[in-house]
Amino acid sequence: MPSVVPKVKLNDGFEMPVIGLGTYNADNIVEVIASAIDSGYRHFDCADIYGNEEEIGTALNSAISAGKVKREDLFVVTKVWCTWMARGRPTISAKRSLKRFGFDYLDLLLIHWPTPYKQDKDYYPLDSTGQLIFDDTINLADVWKEFEDIKKSGD
């Protein structure tokens, strides 16, 4: 990997490295992140549902503390899961992710999948027949508006 990964300028002026590391399903994620930073990765694609944001935060904060990288040189992405799309819940989800990462800000917050599920303690709420329960009362335009509000407020 080149020492300087090319970046693309986003519509808000921020720049995102074009090469990123997906963090889904890595058993040894702390070691993977440390090795990725040493190899030049600065873009990390994360998500609440992956269940490893705290470990990723530990690894990234360790690299920052060791002087290997600065927080402002990282581009950390996370995603709001399908059961977190009801009004107010994307903001809560983002704040929970920030706490798990141990960060003051995220570089990019995404909707994981644009298919709202019923709000539930489980990631995949199922009815009595085992079918996934969607929430057709949620308007994705309203979810998007909340994402815009999160960005404006800095939460």
- Residues 88-143 have pLDDT tens digits of 999 999 999 999 999 999 999 999 999 999 998 899 999 999 999 999 999 999 99
Q: Would you state the pLDDT for residue 1?
A: 45
pLDDT surpassing 80 at residue 57? yes
Specify the DSSP element, H or E, that contains 77.
strand 75-80
- Indicate the CATH number for domain 7-153: 3.20.20.100
8 A C-beta contact, residue 114 and residue 80: no
Per-residue confidence at 153, pLDDT binned at 50, 70, 90?
confident
Catalytic residue among 24, 50, 117, 124: 50
Active site residue 50: yes
The dihedral over CA atoms of 60, 89, 150, 146, expressed in degrees to the nearest 10, equals 140
The DSSP string of 105-146 is: --SEEEES-S-PBPP-SSSS-B-TTS-B-B-TT--HHHHHHH
Per-residue confidence at 3, pLDDT binned at 50, 70, 90?
low
**What's the half-sphere exposure (Cβ side, CA atoms, 13 Å) at 130?**
0
What is the pTM (predicted TM-score) of this model?
Answer: 0.93
Give percent of the chain with pLDDT exceeding 70.
Answer: 97
